[in-house]
Amino acid sequence: MTTAELDVLLRGFGHERKDLTRILHKVQAAYGYIPAPAIRRVAEHLNTTANEVYGVLTFYKAFRLEPRGRHVITACQGTSCHVRGGADVFAEMKKELGIEPGGTTADRMFSLETVNCFGCCAIGPTVVVDSTYYSRVSVADVRSLIALYRKRK
């Protein structure tokens, strides 16, 4: 990431405070996370402090300060998925990957995330890998699902 790259990215945005979350979404889409130099540059752009930008980005679940793995597995923790066996699926996922939510495997292949509801409640438990939705996931499916993506690299 260079300053020039960031400047190109910021060109499409205004300098108003209300643009902050949109800018952060954009930065993250470009780099996969919010790199520290970007925080300072975004603050300058909006004529505010890095502290303010940091405060906002750490408030929201969407933004990350660390890069994630190649594939992101997100397990739904919603109520409907929970009563349909989602907790066991999630436990199996943690075991199989050997990481806790928020973590990334040592080979940087997988990151594990949780979400409070994907809104696919009638067909849960729901797991989303990158942007593909998987419905009715059972404990037995977990291993093959991970293997599928491991093969894909």
Partner 1 sequence: MKPLTHPSQLAGWKARLLEERPAWRKTIVVSNGTCGRASGSLGIIEALGRELDRRGLKETVGLEITGCHGFCELEPNVVILPEGIYYGRLKPEDVPAIIEKTILKDNVVETLAYADPKTGRRYVLRKDIPFFRKQMRLLTEDNLRIDPDRIEDYILADGYQALAKVLFDMTAEEVIREVDLAGLRGRGGAGFPTGKKWQFCRSESADRRYIICNADEGNPGTYMDRSILAANPHSVIEGMVIGAYAMGAAEGYVYVRMEAPQAVRQVTLARDQARQHGFLGKSILGSEFHFDIHIVEGAGAFVCGEETSLMSSIEGRRAVSRQRPPFPAQAGLWGKPTNINNVETWANVPLIIKRGAEWYSQIGTSRSKGTKIFSLVGKIRHGGQVEVPMGITLREVIYDIGGGIKDGQKFKAVQTGGPAGGFLPAEFLDLAIDYDNLVQAGSTMGSGGMIVLDETTCMVDMARHYMHFTQEESCGKCVPCRVGTKQMHDILVGITRGEGKEEDLTRLEELGDSIRVASLCGLGQGAPNPVLSTLRHFRQEYVEHIQHKRCAAGVCKDLAPSSGEEAGPAGRRVKKNRHD
Q: Are 36 and 6 in contact (CB under 8 A)?
A: no
What number of chain residues touch partner 1 (CB under 8 A)?
42
125 is a site residue for partner 1 (CB under 8 A): no
29 is a site residue for partner 1 (CB under 8 A): no
For every residue of 83-143, DSSP letters joined together read: IIIIHHHHHHHHHHHT--TT-B-TTS-EEEEEES--S-GGG-S-EEETTEEE-S--TTHHH
Among 13, 21, 70, 145, binds partner 1 (CB under 8 A): 21
In the region spanning residues 1 to 20, those forming contacts with partner 1, defined by CB under 8 A, are 16-20
Distance CA 82, CA 76 (A): 8
Query: Contact residues for partner 1 (CB under 8 A)?
Result: 16-22, 24-25, 46, 55-56, 59-63, 77-80, 82-84, 87, 90-91, 115-124, 126, 131, 133-135
